[in-house]
Amino acid sequence: MRKYLYILIVLLTFVGCHKDSTQPKVYGRYVPERKDDFAWENEYAAFRMYGPALRPENPSNGVDLWLKASPELVVDSFYYREHVLGLPYHINYGKGLDCYKVGHTCGAGGLVVIANGKTYVGGAYDRWEILKQTSRKLVFRLEYDSLLIDGHLFKEQITITAEAGKILNKAEVVLTACDEQDTDLPSLLAGGGIYMHDTIDQYDILNKFDAVIYSEDAQSDRTAAQMNYDYNGSTSQGRIYLAVHMQDAFMLGTEEGNIVAVSAYEPGSTLTYYFGAGWSEYQGAKSFPSLESWKEAIETEISEL
């Protein structure tokens, strides 16, 4: 009897340890209860992109950012607090918050296309698909039926990969002309961009690493700042850190209120770039108390790609 009891204890211990070792560190899903968002996260930050139900509000194909205080997964709890408990995710209750306003911009690492000196972003996605989801890796695809660039309509397909332990998400983009007979397409530059709120605060161009990094006050969105002040009297929520990297980028710098890493793009080909974000208040294996520490973390990760 004791022998069987011992075996049972060993098995239960093994199952418990195995369960702990496979606790999800990456997560993402379609969010129908919030106007068709597609949201995802890993240890360092959470993101979302906007779906068809939000189209009447003129969203973009940009990337929204949620700040995280720890590696704990927060996407479902943030939506639950907002839509069930009525506790806005714009307020920091100790787990993090949504304070980065996207509007009709590229947001925190979305696709930027430049044609004839003008910058273009698109609207809400039309379809979503999860290609792979494990406890350590998420791969999903969003498709956009119409992206207007310099008077020409394009289809956009973007495949995003998020992995445990990686600050940077991988984005693979394919643009194709909606009219296959259109032979007068403009020359395009395309890549990732970061929208800067109000004024240029702190940014750096990492030429050696084909990357741009940026930092701004986490309360640049005045509405979120007021909500947090009303809740806890705080006038500070730390700093946001963002980055975009694209190998052999043709242009690294500022463009129409964005910081971009772009290169010449041929429609039909696959464009690959990386984007990521962090928070000065994050407590985990890595921390980013300053722009310099963010720079070091991004340079290290790029060198390991």
pLDDT above 90 for 18? no
Residue 269 counted as domain residue: yes
Task: Identify the pLDDT of residue 161.
Answer: 99
Dihedral angle, C-alpha 31, 32, 34, 40, nearest 10 °: 10
The mean pLDDT value for 159-176 works out to: 98
Task: Identify the pLDDT of residue 124.
Answer: 98
- Report the C-alpha gap between 276 and 245 in whole angstroms: 9
Are 115 and 184 contacting, i.e. CB atoms less than 8 angstroms apart? Answer: no
Task: Identify the pLDDT of residue 5.
Answer: 33
Task: Identify the pLDDT of residue 21.
Answer: 52
The mean pLDDT value for 137-152 works out to: 97
- Within 10 angstroms of residue 203's Cβ, the number of other Cβ atoms is 17
pLDDT above 90 for 292? yes
The mean pLDDT value for 232-238 works out to: 87
Residue 161 counted as domain residue: yes
pLDDT above 80 for 29? yes
Are 174 and 271 contacting, i.e. CB atoms less than 8 angstroms apart? Answer: yes
DSSP letter for 196, please: P
The mean pLDDT value for 149-158 works out to: 97
Residues paired with 214 in a beta bridge: 203, 242
Are 277 and 241 contacting, i.e. CB atoms less than 8 angstroms apart? Answer: yes
The mean pLDDT value for 91-116 works out to: 96
pLDDT above 50 for 2? no
The mean pLDDT value for 63-86 works out to: 97
Residue 160, φ and ψ in degrees, nearest 5: -115, 135
Residue 91 counted as domain residue: yes
High-pLDDT (> 90) share of the chain, %: 84
The mean pLDDT value for 15-29 works out to: 69
Query: What is the average pLDDT value for the chain, to the nearest integer?
Result: 91
Task: Identify the pLDDT of residue 232.
Answer: 87
Are 214 and 194 contacting, i.e. CB atoms less than 8 angstroms apart? Answer: yes
Q: Which domain holds residue 62?
A: 25-303
pLDDT above 80 for 240? yes
Task: Identify the pLDDT of residue 236.
Answer: 87
Residue 32 counted as domain residue: yes
Q: How many structural domains comprise the chain?
A: 1
Residues paired with 195 in a beta bridge: 258
Task: Identify the pLDDT of residue 103.
Answer: 94
- pLDDT, tens digit, for every residue of 178-207? 998 888 999 999 999 999 997 667 899 999
Residue 110 counted as domain residue: yes
- Element (DSSP H or E) covering residue 28: strand 27-31
The mean pLDDT value for 129-136 works out to: 98
Task: Identify the pLDDT of residue 1.
Answer: 43
7-21, 49-63, 130-144: segment of lowest average pLDDT: 7-21
Task: Identify the pLDDT of residue 183.
Answer: 81
pLDDT above 50 for 284? yes
Residue 89 counted as domain residue: yes
CATH label of the domain that carries residue 51: 2.70.98
pLDDT above 80 for 33? yes
Enter the pTM of the model: 0.92
Are 86 and 93 contacting, i.e. CB atoms less than 8 angstroms apart? Answer: no
* Pair type for strands 239-245 and 211-217: antiparallel
